[in-house]
Structure 1
Amino acid sequence: MRLNSVGRLAVVASAALLLLGGAATSAQASAPGPVLYSIDFSNPQEQDNNNLPEPYGRIWVQSPWLQQTALWEHPDVDINTPTLPRYPDDGPYAFRFVDHPVTELCAQVGEDDTGINRDDILADGCVPVDGPGDYTISGPDGSVTVHLLDV
């Protein structure tokens, strides 16, 4: 009976090593270092006077072990949530140093609607990252697209 337990343990350990090895291989393309990016916020249902979104929430990259680095964050400040169709709004891209491999891009972004409307949800979830490119995370009311120029 002890022999069967040892055999099972060996199989589990081998599977774990294979999974970790796969995660490390996919993360090698996105090793620690600078991340250059820009973000587009989209809310097709926006109906106020400027038809531009007032996003709030958080967008981040994370490692296989769920370590996170924020790319963008803004609190919901109701009527004072700024209009922001693109981040950064004053240049072509933003820069963050990430001290871990990047395997996922995640976003939880709402859009402030004051008055009788409920807030919209632009993005809620994660997508796998496999290098530079455009990554879109959708929600029921819109989407967020992160343009990763270098990762």
Structure 2
Amino acid sequence: MRLRSAGRVAAFASTALMLTGIANVGAAHAQELGGPGPIYYSITFSNPRESDDNNLPEPYGEVDVRAPWGQPTTLWEHPDVGINTPTLPRYPDFGPFDHRFVPHPVSEICANVGEDDTGINDDDILADGCLPYTGPGDYTISAEGGSVTVTVYKFG
């Protein structure tokens, strides 16, 4: 009778240690991805084909970070308001960076950003896609009309 009880205790302990190890690996992976927590970042918009008075882009669209299961958290967004789309070469306008709370781990940084051109020109696409998140650093997402660079200074 004691051997069976000892065997059950050993099996239970072994299972508990294994589950603890799996939980620790899951936590380490989430920490590797970053989050949840505050993300400190800045965004630079580039359109080399811009040729109006100030040679600066008028971006519209969205930049976000996404969880492994696809949940987005928006870092920047602006609607296309035609001739009233503001000139914005960098976000934030003032200060070195902005921050946002992200309630999930991050596996990708994504941008879908156009650039408003009025008159006879068609709008340019500056960025359309995602890059895998690997930690603080620069992430440049490009398209045929330019690029968007998201600089992550710190996450979590």
TM-score normalised by structure 1 residue count = 0.83
2:105 is aligned with 1:101: yes
The partner residue of 1:74 within 73, 78, 84 is 78
Q: Which segments of 5 or more consecutive residues in structure 2 lack a partner in the other structure? A: 1-24
Q: Share of identical aligned residues, percent? A: 68
Please name the residue that 2:30 is paired with: 27
Q: How many residues are treated as equivalent by the alignment?
A: 131
The partner residue of 1:115 within 102, 119, 122 is 119
Q: Which segments of 5 or more consecutive residues in structure 1 lack a partner in the other structure? A: 1-21
Which stretch of structure 1 is more off in the superposition, 24-33 or 91-100? 24-33
Q: Once superposed, what is the RMSD of the aligned Cα atoms?
A: 1.6
Cα separation, 2, equivalents of 1:23 and 1:46: 46
Deviations 1:89-122 (A, max 9, x none): 1111000000000010000000000001000000
Please name the residue that 1:131 is paired with: 135
2:44 is aligned with 1:40: yes
Please name the residue that 1:6 is paired with: none
Q: Is the Cα–Cα contact under 8 Å of residues 78 and 114 in structure 1 kept in the other structure?
A: yes
1:5-16 matched pairs, under 5 angstroms: none
Any runs of at least 4 consecutive aligned residues in structure 1 with deviations exceeding 3 A, and if so which? 22-27
Larger Rg: 2
Please name the residue that 1:14 is paired with: none
2:34 is aligned with 1:64: no
Q: Cα–Cα, structure 1 residues 56 and 24, in superposed 2: closer, same or farther, change >3 Å?
A: farther
